[in-house]
Amino acid sequence: MTSVFDLLKKHLAQHIRFDDVQFEVFCKRFKVKQTSRNEILLFGSEICPYMYFVNRGCLRIYMLDEAGRESTRFFVFEGKFGTAFPSFILQEPSMAYIQSLEPSELLYINYPDLQELINKFPNFEKAYLINLEMEYISSIKRIESLISMDANSRYQLLLKDSPALIKRLPSKIIADYLGISQETLSRLKSKK
Amino acid sequence: MTSVFDLLKKHLAQHIRFDDVQFEVFCKRFKVKQTSRNEILLFGSEICPYMYFVNRGCLRIYMLDEAGRESTRFFVFEGKFGTAFPSFILQEPSMAYIQSLEPSELLYINYPDLQELINKFPNFEKAYLINLEMEYISSIKRIESLISMDANSRYQLLLKDSPALIKRLPSKIIADYLGISQETLSRLKSKK
C-alpha cells in the first residue's frame, strides 16, 4: 500500500535506521499540502514557519528586489528538504520568497516540531545533520560556480549535474539561476 | 592559567554544557599549529584531512583557475571553525586551497577523530550541528549577495557586517572576495 510518506521514508533510510513505530512518530509531525503552479508559499519579510519535503514538483527559493528583479537562490526537487533556511532557523523575517514552480505535493513540519524530533530521537538528529552537511556542500558549490566560472562554464556544469532541470524549467528561471540573460542562455543551448 | 584551548572552550560553551573531564577528552583530539603569513595549508586536488579552529590569525579558502586567477570563497577568523568543507566531509579531492593570510595559531582535528567525538558525545554533536547551521546560513547570505547585489551594495554589506575585515586584509584580497577590481574597490572606499 503506498503512502504519502513513502519518499520521506526512503530519504531517511539512506542515512539512518528506524523501525515502523518510530517512523509513525516522525510522520505525525508532518502535514501534507498540494500547491498549484507558481503558488507563493512564503513572502519576503515573513518569518518562515516550515521546513518542506518535496514529494512531487519543485520549489524555488528566490529574492526579489525593489525594482521587481528576481534572483534565484536554490531549487528543491522531489525527495529533498528545503526552506528559506536562515529565516526558519533564526526565526527572523526572510530575505527570500518560496514558490512552487510546478503543481506540487509537499510535506511540511513547523520549527518546534522539527526541534522536538531532533532533540528526542538521536537517529533523526543524525539524518538532519547529514542532510545539513549535504545542503551546505551544495551551497558551497553554488558559491564556487558564481565566483569562479563564466556563463558558459556555469551552463555546462548545470547540464552535467542536472540535465533534467534544463528540460523541465522555463528558460527565464534557468537564466536567472545562472545569472545570465535569456539571450545568452539561448545562445549557449544552441551551441551544444 | 591560560591554555591554548581557552577560545575553543568559549566557542563550545556558547552552544552546549560540558564538564572539565569531558573537555579534556575533546582537547586530546586537537593538535596545535603555528603558521606563517600566506602559508598554504591545503593545495587544490588534495583531500583535505583537517577541520581547523582559528585561535589567532585568519584563514582564506579560495579557488585557483588554470590562468592563475584566484577566487575567494570564505574567510575564517578567530574563534571560528573552517575547512575546505566538501573535500573534508566527502573525503574527496578539494576544489579549493586553504591559506593562512596572517601568521596564525590553529587547532586542527582529523576526520576520523571528529567523527568519533560526534558519535560518542551527544553534546559535541549538538555543538557541531549548530555550528553547521550557522555556517550554512553564512554561505546562503554569501550566495544572496553574489546573485542580487551590485558591487557597491556588496561593499556596504561587508562594511556593516565586518568592518574590521576591511581594515585588516589587503585590498587585493577584499576586491577578489567582492568579485570586483581593485580600482572599483578604491573608488567605493573613497566615496564613503
The three grid cell numbers given for residue B155, joined into one nine-digit string: 561593499
Interface contact A136-B137, CB threshold 8 A? no
Edge-first strand order for the sheet with A39-42 is: A39-42, A97-100, A58-64, A70-77
The whole-number pLDDT of residue A7 equals 97
Total residues found in chain B within this entry: 192
Let me know the angle formed at the C-alpha of A28 by A24 and A34, rounded to the nearest 5 degrees: 120
A12, A26 in Cβ contact below 8 A?
yes
The whole-number pLDDT of residue A192 equals 58
The whole-number pLDDT of residue A162 equals 84
Model confidence at A143, pLDDT cuts 50, 70, 90, reads very high
The whole-number pLDDT of residue A179 equals 85
Looking at residues B96-125, what average pLDDT do you find?
97
Chains A and B: how many Cβ contacts under 8 Å? 84
Res. A18: pLDDT tops 90: yes
Model confidence at A121, pLDDT cuts 50, 70, 90, reads very high
Chain B contact set for A146 (CB, 8 A)? 143, 146-147
Res. B192: pLDDT tops 70: no
What is residue B77's three-state secondary structure? strand
The whole-number pLDDT of residue A16 equals 94
Res. A92: pLDDT tops 90: yes
Nearest-10 Cα torsion for B88, B89, B95, B99 = -30
Q: How close, in Å, is residue B6 to chain A by CA atoms?
A: 26
The whole-number pLDDT of residue B91 equals 96
B101, B58 in Cβ contact below 8 A?
yes
Interface contact B128, partner A, CB < 8 A: yes
Residue in the structure block whose three cell numbers are 555550528 = B131
B93, B87 in Cβ contact below 8 A?
yes
Instruction: Report the percentage of chain B scoring pLDDT > 70.
Output: 99
Residue in the structure block whose three cell numbers are 539561476 = A177
Res. A165: pLDDT tops 90: no
pTM score, two decimals?
Answer: 0.94
Residue B83 per-residue DSSP state: -
Q: How close, in Å, is residue A5 to chain B by CA atoms?
A: 25
The whole-number pLDDT of residue B152 equals 87
Res. B135: pLDDT tops 90: yes
Angstrom distance (rounded) from CA B123 to CA A63: 35
Looking at residues B12-31, what average pLDDT do you find?
95
Looking at residues B32-40, what average pLDDT do you find?
98
Nearest to B131 by CA among B83, B71, B60, B62: B83
Residue in the structure block whose three cell numbers are 563564466 = A150
Q: How close, in Å, is residue B134 to chain A by CA atoms?
A: 8
Model confidence at B26, pLDDT cuts 50, 70, 90, reads very high
Angstrom distance (rounded) from CA A79 to CA A84: 17
Find residues 44-83 of chain B whose CB sits inside 8 Å of chain A. 63, 65, 69, 71-73
Q: How does pLDDT run across B67-87, given as a tens digit for each residue? A: 888 999 999 999 999 999 999
Res. A1: pLDDT tops 80: no
Chain B contact set for A179 (CB, 8 A)? 147
Looking at residues B161-187, what average pLDDT do you find?
89
Q: Considering only A18-22, A113-117, A135-139, A166-170, which range has the smallest mean pLDDT?
A: A166-170
The three grid cell numbers given for residue A168, joined into one nine-digit string: 523541465
Angstrom distance (rounded) from CA B56 to CA B106: 7
Query: How far is residue A139 from each of residues A124, A143, B98, B186, B192, measured CA to CA in Å?
Result: 22, 6, 18, 30, 32
Interface contact B63-A137, CB threshold 8 A? no
Nearest to B107 by CA among B82, B141, B133, B144: B82
A94, A44 in Cβ contact below 8 A?
yes
Interface contact B139-A141, CB threshold 8 A? no
